[in-house]
Amino acid sequence: MKNNHPEITAIICAFNEESTIENVLKAVADSNLFNEIIVVNDGSTDNTGKIIKELKKCLDITDIHLPENKGKGFAMASGVEKASSELIVFCDADLSDLRGEHFLQLIKPIIENKADMVLGQATETLINYKINPFKSLSGQRSLLREDILPILDDMKTSKFGVETLINLYYQSQGKRVEYVMLMDLKHPTKFNKTNQSQAMKEFIFEGHQIALTAFNNFNLITKIIKNKLNKV
């Protein structure tokens, strides 16, 4: 595949994912689909950074270690800046049962020019994947690097609103977005990873960041509405 298609970079951003980061990175490497694997340690305070450095001894990965937690948007943008490939695949660091076929599902529509961005929905989640209202916020996505470069600076300050920012930008540009179901892929919720009280606090915090991102990019929303009206 590497010889017949554009080069592909996988970007994995991690914050305190010591229990899953090793399996995720090994799954990415074992897929043999990527010319480059970039992992961004976003100021983790557990053993995530140590595990990444140990894995680098046996895996061909490029590691970026941020001295403090800068937020998901900053970490993703840092990975894109470092990437050298035309096609980018983002992958969360807390997944289980990740397989090469999942990456193929994300990559194929881009290569076949059927989509400008592909979002993958893990089927093994708390919310039924068929009716999940948050599927557009998925961390599993593929896109062309050149398409996302204009919003890199905005990504750096968007934190957990980064997926919302990317989605709004792509819609405002009239880009084609495709959704794929990543069967048997497990993505834990915050309730799986921490206690109920802490999970609720994190949900509220992240929800605020998402809402703030939408508010700060109301110009994109306006453009989306205008584009839809022009099609009527």
How many residues does this entry show for the chain?
Answer: 232
The pTM score is 0.89
Each residue's pLDDT tens digit, 164-222: 999 999 999 999 999 999 999 998 765 666 677 776 777 787 888 888 898 899 999 99
Contact at 8 Å (CB) between 54 and 25?
no
Q: Which helix (H) or strand (E) holds 74?
A: helix 72-82
Question: Which of helix, strand or coil describes residue 142?
Answer: strand
Count of CA atoms in the C-beta half-sphere (13 A) of 188: 15
Query: What is the Cβ-side half-sphere exposure of residue 33, based on CA atoms within 13 angstroms?
Result: 21
Please state, in angstroms and rounded to a whole number, the distance separating the CA atoms of residues 112 and 200. Answer: 41
pLDDT at 120 over 80: yes
- Residue pointed to by tokens 């540009």: 173
* Of 90, 99, 97, 95, the residue nearest 118 (C-alpha): 90
Task: Say how far apart CA 183 and CA 121 lie, in whole Å.
Answer: 8
Model pLDDT for residues 76-111, shown as the tens digit of each residue: 999 999 999 999 999 999 999 999 999 999 999 999
Query: pLDDT (tens digit, 9 = 90+) per residue, 57-70?
Result: 999 999 999 999 99
Bridge partners (DSSP) listed for residue 42 = 66
Ordered by start, the domain boundaries in the chain are: 8-231
Give tens-digit pLDDT for 19-33.
999 999 999 999 999
CA distance 141 to 136: 10
CATH class of 8-231: alpha beta
Q: What local confidence, expressed as pLDDT, does residue 200 receive?
A: 77
What the block records as the tokens of 72 is 């998901």
**Pairing outcome for strands 87-92 and 140-144:** antiparallel
Dihedral sign of CA atoms 177, 9, 22, 163 in order: negative
Q: Which residues contact 92 (CB under 8 A, 6 or more apart)?
A: 12, 13, 24, 139, 140, 187
**Looking at the DSSP assignment, which residues form a beta bridge with residue 91?**
12
Average pLDDT, the chain: 91
